[in-house]
A and B are shown apart, each in its own frame.
Chain A
């Protein structure tokens, strides 16, 4: 029982961060049909940048600075790399995001080195006791932040002009463009938001676990979340994030502890394979119907 409560708590906390990172994935895919395999590296970069900025700035300012820089990075990626490749075959686009991942990881490691770094303690540390299980308080804080941000993104897409334009473009590119939506702007903002979501994910995970190069692999867990929820569905990505977090901590954690060591690490990939075999377009994704 203790194990279940603890795992559910941890799963929801981690899952909320996965959901946030997955949101960036899904957002970008919905608006641009680009699967960004460099997303994990954006998370990594966000985490390191935020830590570097906390050395010179107070924490809230450092986070704001990180987000501003992440947005700039997103715009730059769109302008320099993605715009010349607009309309190129899928393979080129996937490979270019891999290359982008290389560049970002190389820069991150080159600038800050690959070792683990910690944030200064800004959120209260310590454990919360819940029915005999212990859940780190930081996890709850990051889950709350993630939920808040998910709500903010949701409101943004519903209420603001830009958000509506982005949804329109994602829904039907050609029609949206005839109605005066600038596709280039939409793509640029999609990249910026994806980078921001990734950076927030990096900061939250960094606050909780510290930042090191392995953080880049969180991108793959978020990938499992989006695949599960459906690549072009934002609610799906969020739900997928929570499910991946829960499955990883409950089932993966159980098997890890009792049957095979290290099983937790590959739970996400098993989820991907299972979804691929049963329902490749995910829970809420649009089924792609191919015609000659």
Chain B
């Protein structure tokens, strides 16, 4: 990972070499990051809801990064898994009366099963055929949800909480989310440096070659799909309990494309990518929403073109990144760091 190792930084054990944060710079940086995230409610004030949305989508996008970025299977139906998680969570907590943590686990596991089922055909159909199949799956799920719930598909969900304690404010939800966010991010990083992650990458680079090397394609492809759906289901469950009202409109094909935008913008081959991408996408769309009333005062036309402006901007950012920097924001950051490593001299 690290491009330039500091002088005198010798690894004397495999454990030290495999460490996620392998230099004191990274360790200090990560500590600062966690501290900043923990202090975010103080810094952001009433804008803390931005962090909640970013966190939820970052968890979902981590799943897609594992599937698309590291296993090379394209999924255009990631929002459908999120929908499965959200509705499963709503069902278990509302109808079955299970507490929120149990509903969350059930939702994630249900999503895992759905993901594994969708992953099964990936052995036979791949590349763009797989993309189209997942696209079809996305529409089928939308349709099934609308018809299974009757009418619009809107469902009220109880707020998150356990027993007497109910998560009511944005800040309380933020700390709940932060724990899950960090946990799931670290879990993903650990999976990706384990045998599973290496097998995923081998499948991405050339699946038949990986099979020759003794990697069970079916197992790892299905596992990758399941894991991706698990993350999406977790995100969906959090979204349901955060929003307290879910409709299929939260999980359309546009959300799926947003997810793709997140991992592309963030950087596909990086564990930081989904988080950076989610932050970028949410800041861009919510920022436009917040700025719109201000801009309307200056430019009255802006009210009409705010939503299209977001779409056009997204599209252009993705196209520009794919052409000039396919590694995304994560790669830009790494390049910046490499530049600063040697600054002010280029040698």
Contact = CB atoms under 8 A, between A and B. Distances in A.
A272 B133 contact: yes
A286 B326 CA distance: 31
Interface in A48-92: 81, 84-85, 88, 90-92
A109 B307 contact: yes
Contacts of A220: 135, 139
B311 A269 contact: no
A223 B253 CA distance: 15
B211 to A, nearest CB: 10
Interface in B215-234: none
B315 A106 contact: yes
A98 B326 CA distance: 15
A101 interface: yes
Interface stretch (B53-61, B121-129, B172-180): B121-129
A89 to B, nearest CB: 9
B128 A102 contact: no
Interface string A239-279: 00000000000000000000011100110011011001100
Contacts of A227: 129, 132
B309 interface: yes
A290 to B, nearest CB: 7
Interface string B308-322: 111111111011001
Interface stretch (B3-11, B105-113, B257-265): B257-265
B129 A276 contact: yes
B323 interface: yes
A43 B192 CA distance: 41
Nearest to A99: B318
B311 A276 contact: no
B163 to A, nearest CB: 41
Contact of A84 (B139, B260, B323): B323
Contact of A102 (B131, B140, B206, B314): B314
A91 B315 contact: no
Interface in B286-321: 304-305, 307-316, 318-319
Contacts of A95: 260, 264, 318, 322
A162 interface: no
How many residues of B sit at the interface, in one of the four size bands?
35 or more
A176 interface: no
A105 B311 contact: yes
Contact of A99 (B128, B310, B314): B314
Contact of B74 (A84, A91, A276, A280): A91
Nearest to B324: A84
Given A106-B308, A109-B308, A276-B121, A96 B318 contact: yes
B319 A103 contact: yes
A106 B128 contact: no
Nearest to A105: B311
B305 A110 contact: yes
B339 interface: no
Nearest to A113: B304
Given A94-B74, A95-B318, A280-B124, A223 B132 contact: yes
A267 to B, nearest CB: 11
A181 interface: no
A110 B312 CA distance: 9
B80 to A, nearest CB: 12
Interface in B134-155: 135-137, 139-140, 143, 146-147
Nearest to B326: A92
A222 to B, nearest CB: 12
A105 B310 CA distance: 11
B111 to A, nearest CB: 19
Interface in B158-216: 206, 208-209, 212
A113 B307 CA distance: 11
Contacts of A88: 322, 326
A85 B321 CA distance: 11
Contact of A273 (B128, B133, B147, B308): B133
B267 interface: no
A276 B312 contact: no
A87 B133 CA distance: 24
A99 B140 contact: no
A103 B311 contact: yes
17 contacts: A35-B131, A88-B322, A90-B128, A95-B318, A96-B319, A98-B257, A99-B314, A99-B315, A102-B314, A103-B311, A106-B311, A106-B313, A113-B304, A227-B132, A266-B140, A272-B135, A276-B129
Given A95-B264, A102-B312, A273-B133, 7 more contacts: A81-B323, A96-B318, A102-B257, A227-B129, A265-B143, A272-B136, A273-B137
Interface of A: 35, 81, 84-85, 88, 90-92, 94-96, 98-103, 105-110, 113, 220, 223, 227, 260-262, 265-266, 269-270, 272-273, 276-277, 280, 290, 292
7 shortest interchain CB distances as A-B pairs:
A106-B311, A102-B315, A110-B308, A103-B315, A106-B312, A99-B318, A269-B136
